[in-house]
Amino acid sequence: MKIVLSVDAIKPPLTGIGRYTWELAQQLPLQPGIERVRYHKDGQWLDNPATLLGASQGGGGPKAFKWPRWVRRLYWSHAFRGQIYHGTNYFLPPQVECGVVTVHDLSVLKYPETHPVKRVKDFERYFRSTLERASYLITDSETIRQEVIANFAWPAARVSAVPLGVSAAFHPRNEDVLLSHLQRLGVVPGRYALCVSTIEPRKRIDALLIAYSRLPASLLEVYPLILVGSDGWENEHLHDLITRGQREGWLRYWGFVPENDLPALYAGARLFVYLSMYEGFGLPVAEAMASGIPLVASNRSCLPEITGGAAQLVDPDDMDLLPRVLESALLDTTWRTNAVEKGLEIAARYRWDVCARNTVAVYNYTTDRKFIKDEVSGERDKK
């Protein structure tokens, strides 16, 4: 089986979709039945997706095409024949007649006000065309699978939930190991709460900061909140809250943290908090559970599904309850012990090799061209 993998989402720093694409790029060539994987980005072939991260692990970079437009159009009309094209980031290129598409979530459609205008316009312009050409859809969770089926009247037999994975780097660590690593970062193991999230509206960082500021002063002194994440968009008011929290001393905003520092930072936290109002999977919550850290998470979207009973779930809009939940999660020893044990059990299900294997199962399904042709024709005949 020959695969073309879209790698446009791979760019530093790796966030959720970028991480997903990167891990597939590493894992797919190792799967049984995969004869070849080619990497495609913006009308170019890449020899090695590592070049997109600034790495020099052999192989060449993008090969620019300088031919006339009509030649390029003719080339691409034949380039993908006999291969399965996988659009890992919502879209198929216009030259691709059919393929597999991963729809991570529907936030752009459900909450357009939380996204940059350009992203919303791209979806308005290109997403419908992608759905018309896609032969099969993948989602990150069953929650999003059901949303896709309901919102687009998509045949249930042609969409599968394939959960993401967690790197083996995220695991519990003993205090001696943590001390040597976290001392360099200026924190003490077990003496801080942590949130790792892109700074954007739907992540509800505002609710977290307001609620955390209402904890007793004694707790704020012992357990400051560390906020880690790349700068996103539509977040000007959040920076006012961040500035206030830093000035008051209970908040440390670190922005982007090198990938090699994250596993120890997770494992050393007293508590992980993730109040996003909408997710396709919520990779940080899986990483926190794998690290053996108790978790408070939003009760919205797929987060109850992904945390599987391991997290203390809370309505991110309930500003009366939220501070009490955070205080209890920091102090309740019995709950914390049970949450760690359950979290490790749930997180063990999320592996990148399993994600790749289940993705290949989708590819195998789509190779039944007669089925796809007949079913697509049947759906169109009904319209």
As a whole number of angstroms, the distance between CA 158 and CA 372 comes to: 9
* Residue 231 scores a pLDDT above 90: no
Instruction: Return the percentage of the chain with pLDDT > 90, whole number.
Output: 72
How sure is the predictor about 208, in pLDDT bands with cuts at 50, 70 and 90? very high
| Mean pLDDT of the 361-365 span | 93
Q: Is residue 170 part of a domain?
A: no
Arithmetic mean of pLDDT, 179-198: 93
Compute φ and ψ for 168, nearest 5 degrees: -65, -15
Whether residue 333 is contained in a domain is answered as yes
How many CA atoms within 13 Å lie on the side-chain side of 289?
30
Q: Which conformational region is residue 189 in: left (phi greater than 0), alpha (psi within -120 to 50 degrees), or beta?
A: beta
- Position 103 pLDDT exceeds 70: yes
Same domain, 215 and 156: no
Is 31 part of a structural domain of the chain? yes
Q: State whether 337 and 294 are in the same domain.
A: yes
pLDDT digits (tens, 9 = 90+) for 234-260: 567 788 899 999 999 999 999 888 889
Where is pLDDT greater, at 201 or 89? 89
> Would you state the pLDDT for residue 64?
46
158 and 266 assigned to the same domain: no
**Banded model confidence at residue 191, pLDDT cuts 50, 70, 90:** very high
DSSP annotation string for 15-74: -HHHHHHHHHHHHGGGSTT--EEEEEETTEEES-GGGGGT--SSS-------S-HHHHHH
Query: What tens digit of pLDDT does each residue of 34-77 get?
Result: 999 999 998 889 999 999 987 433 334 444 445 565 555 666 66
Residue at 358 is within a domain? yes
In a domain, 26, yes or no: yes
Q: 203-222 in b/e burial notation, b at 16+ Cβ within 10 A?
A: bbbbbbbebbbebeeebbee
Please tell me whether residues 68 and 114 are part of one structural domain: yes
Q: Which residue has the tokens 């007669």?
A: 370
Assign 383 a pLDDT band (cuts: 50, 70, 90).
very low
Q: For residue 110, what are its two tokens?
A: 């459900």
pLDDT higher at 184 or 332 = 332
**Pair 155, 52 in one domain:** yes
pLDDT at 42: 87
Question: Are 290 and 307 found together in one domain?
Answer: yes
CATH number at residue 214: 3.40.50.2000
What's the mean pLDDT in 341-370? Answer: 91
In this predicted structure, what is the pLDDT of residue 223?
A: 98
CATH number where 82 lies: 3.40.50
Give 362's pLDDT tier (boundaries 50, 70, 90).
very high
Domain that holds residue 358: 2-165+352-382
Residue type, 227: L
Do 357 and 338 lie in one domain? The reply is no
Res. 373 pLDDT band, cuts 50 70 90: very low
Give yes or no: residues 274 and 375 share one domain: no
**Which is nearest to 20 in space by CA: 121, 106, 124, 140?**
140
Residues 208 and 159 in one domain: no
Residue 17 binned pLDDT confidence (cut-offs 50, 70, 90):
very high
Is residue 224 over pLDDT 70? yes
Averaged confidence pLDDT in the chain: 89
| Amino acid residing at 364 | N
Which of 15-29, 52-66, 103-117 has the weakest average pLDDT? 52-66
94 and 36 housed in the same domain: yes
3-state secondary structure of 306: helix
Which band of pLDDT confidence, cut at 50, 70 and 90, is reported for residue 233? low
E-strand stretches of the chain: 2-6, 36-41, 44-46, 84-87, 99-102, 134-139, 159-161, 193-196, 225-228, 251-255, 271-274, 295-298, 312-314
Instruction: List Cα–Cα distances, 153 to 36, 145, 148, 271, 293, in angstroms.
Output: 33, 11, 8, 40, 39
Is the domain of 131 the same as that of 185?
Answer: no
**Which tens digit of pLDDT belongs to each residue from 292-332?**
999 999 999 999 999 999 999 999 999 999 999 999 999 99
CA 99 to CA 4: how far, in whole Å?
9
pLDDT of residue 360: 97
Residues 6+ apart with CB under 8 A from 103: 90, 137, 138, 139, 144, 148, 280
Q: What is residue 372's predicted lDDT score, i.e. its pLDDT?
A: 42
Is position 290 within any domain?
yes
Each residue's pLDDT tens digit, 127-177 = 999 999 999 999 999 999 999 999 999 999 999 999 999 999 999 999 988
DSSP state for residue 146 in the 8-state scheme: H
Q: What is the total count of domains within the chain? A: 2
- Same domain for 297 and 318, yes or no, is yes
List the beta strands (DSSP E) in 69-190. Answer: 84-87, 99-102, 134-139, 159-161
